Structure 1
């Protein structure tokens, strides 16, 4: 058997490796005689050209043809992507690319500067030369104008930096030995924290005390309510990420986890990521001032940031000892309510077991009044008109005023044409998912009533438009009566000016996801509808089918990737956590709040906030007060 010595750099055709039945087979190059014959036939260029045998010329033409085909393919894909992404005037991916530059938000100006603070992200790595740490993203007034000019806020790009520990020191520490303070224990999700913060602001003002303001905890790892001592210890141990600074470099993304796991697959004794870092990126803390505009409140009362819930912080920063603290220790979330009047008789129906008379509480001499939970819209029972007006101003200040959020909301509002309907629909979990069909039917009815349809017309439309969509749904199969929608007493007691006429749907630049209604009786249903929802894959979610089927111009937040992309780039300078995922529900609510008319989910605190506060504040109207 002839043996071949092959040099892959010198031989014209490289050996080919083929796999057949588990064995590798080497295919040898052509015999030398054939190579010699090919060389001789190519010795005469003229005859070779005549016979079309110049291999290099053929290869060049083939390469050019392939390049042309590749360019044409790329051009087609590019054109298709452009046409797809420019629909609704809101193209782009939902999230910023993984390699997109980060925008690191510096929270220190909200908490007070200190020369003793550790280095912030970017400090010590050229931040002074390049300004790699972003300036704080400011808030701006929440009342919406009809123009959609983008907000202007100062921020710079950063790609590196270290994590600060902004909670350990505070320049806001009291220098007045007689200053008295109020503190409380936050817990649960954002809206529970918001309601507790509202109550704390009002109480601090009525008690003439400086409020110690905790951060807002965002994400999927809330600290749930516990009795006073247990919740206090939990906050002291878990509210801070102090000592976990290494976690931001240990695991940044799931992709990084996978990559690190592959690198360490042979190192069985080395963990993929530290155990203490589990859940590090699932929550973060931000200052209240970064989300809402507290300037009006600060003009009338003093606020001090408190991101550390230990007794040591109180003694070190405020010189307050345990002997100077008066604590109301609740064992249940309904233990204590507060009121500004003395009732003539003990009420028969009481939500809270004990009501504390606020003027008596104001006489406490201790420097620190420490409360437990303050969640509950009815926890403060106020009859004094000035006190009720104070609470209204505080609640109105809770409308989101964060500049990046307002810019994104303005952009989406403009893409929707400025005048649109909105619904805040919760069907994602718990009782909201269990009662989803009934919830969606109520929302559907409220929307058609907002468009001016009478109940008889709505019943007829329900039978005709939704006959197929209702298969398998838990709606009333006979559709003989409207759903039970109780009158909203607090909203009726706070009327708003009449809505301006909704512009008739006409030719728009946006491309609606479904064909428009052509019947004159149904053209009002071509009005754009923005659906703010917690449903996964909302466009195909079966519970939302009736809304999508009825309104061909129904849109979701994920349809506006270009507007949301800048939010995905925001990163906390405090702990290195990306802020974008935590801000999307707020943006959802803000877009709904800017609509011509908005309806919400009954029983949802979030929906109530959208209808009572955001929608009315963004339109410049008086908010609805409950409790």
Structure 2
């Protein structure tokens, strides 16, 4: 009996010792994690270091070497809508890769309807962007008023020339009468790109962190750098097409519509901790002639794909409803703003002509019907817009997103985790774009970045 008692005592002591040692080791691991996380946060306050589609996820295993004294950074200023900001992001990823700098990614500035932020000189663009903030005790809504004068030239697609931004409560009536400007109240949200686009390729090739706002003071304080000596502002765009960047110093490529040449190899030698670009739109901004540049860019273009599972599910259900992938043709008619408004009848007639000519040729060669049986039309105007009527009269079976409102319901439950904004209205254009890319053929609106992205997705499909 005494022997059994002794064995039980030893067993209890052993178990207690094992538990104590385990708790101690867990404590050490937890303390190391906290210390490591604290170090990361100290070097990146106001940023999210991320390795997933969610906000506020720190990944110390991936970025435990991201310390201020070792890193050189690069950032830029976004403008315009989804597709223009996406192009700017892609260009910035290339620049960060080529210049071997950690990319600071601005939040995606998402608007419902008209996008007020257009390409501007560096200082003015920064001032405009800094007005967009997350709701707080003093600012309870993601709404802002902008007033603008019209641009009578065709150089500006949306017809906006000069902009003034005010908070949501600003009384614009007197301002409008005095300055004879148009004023609009718009909803916006600041969104994380990784909630929309697959970053797996990017993650393998560059280091990046997410910026939380457009406040320059916050930026330099977060990095703990001197704005006077440790920031290099790449020559800002006094004009929309002022600077063009070249990956090869031996390039003979002409400037084209740009006014100044900057060699990336020259920028790579800049010692400042932060290299701050202004406008890095459009795709032609960077001339890529080195083979390594071409290879990287081609892979990047094939990997920057929408990956939000809720959006993808909605798109797939719509595509299935109209017969499945490749059972229809996708058409994009941009008619609702600036240059496109002035040319909407011409755009529609051009789309009709191109489709008829293509399918007439198909019927001659393959003895198939001369007109497609099913078309999905993405457009930024209402179905009853007079400019669209010739399209509906020419083709007997045309679907638009309005025909599938019931399938869009899941989007009403998708919220921005940063501010609680329901993303439904923001995401509708992206759903439209993704559906048209699933067709067997795709017809685009010339000069539209929306169309160009849909065409890219259609080719990758």
Q: TM-score band (shorter)?
A: 0.7 to 0.9
User: Displacement, 1:575?
Assistant: 2.2
- Name stretches of at least 5 consecutive residues in structure 2 with no aligned partner: 1-39, 145-166, 173-183
Q: CA distance change for structure 1 residues 421 and 232 in 2, over 3 Å: closer, same or farther?
A: same
Residue 134 of structure 2 is matched in structure 1 by: 241
Q: Verify: 1:604 aligned to 2:448, yes or no.
A: yes
User: Structure 1, residues 91-129: CA drift from partner, whole Å, max 9, x if none?
Assistant: xxxxxxxxxxxxxxxxxxxxx999x999xxxxxxxxxxx
* SS at structure 2 position matched to 1:373: coil
- Cα displacement string for residues 44-79 of structure 1 (whole angstroms, at most 9, x for unaligned residues): xxxxxxxxxxxxxxxxxxxxxxxxxxxxxxxxxxxx
Query: Displacement, 1:447?
Result: 1.8
Partner of 1:579 in structure 2? 423
Q: Alignment partner for residue 533 of structure 1, among 369, 379, 382?
A: 379
**Counterpart contact for 1:593–1:614, Cα < 8 Å:** yes
Structure 1 match to 2:5? none
Separation in 1, partners of 2:391, 2:226: 58
> Paired residues, what number?
374
Name the Cα RMSD after superposition.
3.5
Partner of 1:301: 206
Conserved? CA contact 1:421–1:597, under 8 Å: yes
* Other structure's SS at 2:371 match: helix
Check conservation: 2:142, 2:189, Cα contact below 8 A.
no
Which protein has the larger Cα radius of gyration, Structure 1 or Structure 2? 1
Q: Secondary structure at the match of 1:571?
A: coil
Query: Of residues 80, 86, 95 in structure 2, which corresponds to 1:194?
Result: 86
Match of 1:410 among 303, 309, 316: 316
Report the secondary structure of 1:309's partner residue.
coil
With over 3 angstroms needed to count, the CA separation of the structure-2 counterparts of 1:233 and 1:390, relative to structure 1, is same
Q: Among residues 332, 351, 358, which one is paired with 1:443 in the alignment?
A: 351
**Higher helix fraction (1 or 2):** 2
Separation in structure 2 between the aligned mates of residue 249 and residue 293 of structure 1, nearest angstrom: 26
Rate the CA distance shift 1:551–1:307 in 2: closer, same or farther, 3 A: same
Does the Cα contact within 8 Å between 1:593 and 1:610 map onto a contact in 2? Answer: yes
Equivalent position to 1:336, from 230, 236, 243: 243
Determine the C-alpha separation between the residues in 1 that align with 2:276 and 2:230.
10
1:291 to 173, 177, 196: 196
Q: In 1, Cα distance between the equivalents of 2:452 and 2:310?
A: 23
| Inter-partner Cα distance in structure 2 for 1:586 and 1:364 | 38
Paired residue for 1:615? 458
2:25 match: none
Other structure's SS at 2:415 match: strand
Looking at secondary structure, tell me which structure has more strand per residue.
Answer: 2
What residue is the counterpart of 1:316 in the other structure? 221
**Does the CA-based 8 Å contact 1:244-1:277 persist in structure 2?**
no
- Secondary structure (helix, strand or coil) at the match of 2:190 reads strand
| Partner-residue secondary structure (3-state), 1:404 | helix
DSSP-derived class of the 2:257 partner: coil
For structure 1, which segment, 556-565 or 219-228, has the greater mean C-alpha deviation from structure 2 after superposition? 219-228
CA distance in 2, matches of 1:245, 1:590: 38
- Distance between the aligned counterparts of 1:342 and 1:315, measured in 2? 31
Which of 359, 365, 370 pairs up with 2:271? 365
String of CA shifts for 1:527-548, please: whole Å, max 9, x gaps.
1110111112x1x322222221
* Offset, 1:585: 0.8
Q: How does 1:493-572 map onto structure 2 within 5 Å?
A: 525=371, 527-536=373-382, 538=383, 540-572=384-416
Residue 226 (1) aligns with residue 69 (2):
no
Conserved in 2, the CA contact under 8 Å of 1:170 and 1:317?
Answer: no
* Offset, 1:215: 1.1
Deviations 1:379-437 (A, max 9, x none): 10111121012122222333322211111110011001111111111122322222222
Instruction: Give the number of the structure with larger relative contact order, counting CA–CA contacts within 8 Å between residues 6 or more apart.
Output: 1
Q: Does 1:215 find its partner at 2:58?
A: no
In the aligned structure 2, how far is the partner of 1:324 from the partner of 1:177?
A: 12
For 1:311 and 1:387, the matched residues in 2 are separated by 31
2 CA distance for matches of 1:586 and 1:374?
A: 22
Q: 2:289 aligns with which of 376, 383, 400?
A: 383
Query: Structure 1 pair 244/604, CA: closer, same or farther in 2 (3 Å)?
Result: farther
Q: Is contact 1:221-1:282 (8 Å) kept?
A: no
Q: Structure 1 residues 274 and 312, CA, compared in 2 at 3 Å: closer, same or farther?
A: closer
Distance 1:245 1:449, change over 3 A: farther
Equivalent pair of 1:340/1:357 in contact (CA under 8 Å): yes
Structure-2 separation of matches of 1:439 and 1:218 = 26
1:293 and 1:430 map into 2 onto residues whose CA distance is: 31
Deviation at 1:367, TM superposition (A): 0.9
- Within 2, Cα distance between the matches of 1:344 and 1:274? 49
Aligned counterparts of 1:397 and 1:223: Cα–Cα separation in 2: 27
Structure 1 residues 344 and 336, CA gap change in structure 2 (3 angstroms): closer
Tell me the equivalent position of 1:398.
304
Cα distance, 1:532–1:113 mapped onto 2, change above 3 Å: farther
Q: Say whether 1:204 aligns with 2:112.
A: no
Structure 1: gaps spanning 5 or more residues: 1-111, 119-135, 140-153, 155-163, 252-272, 458-500, 502-520, 620-627
Moved more, 324-333 or 376-385: 324-333
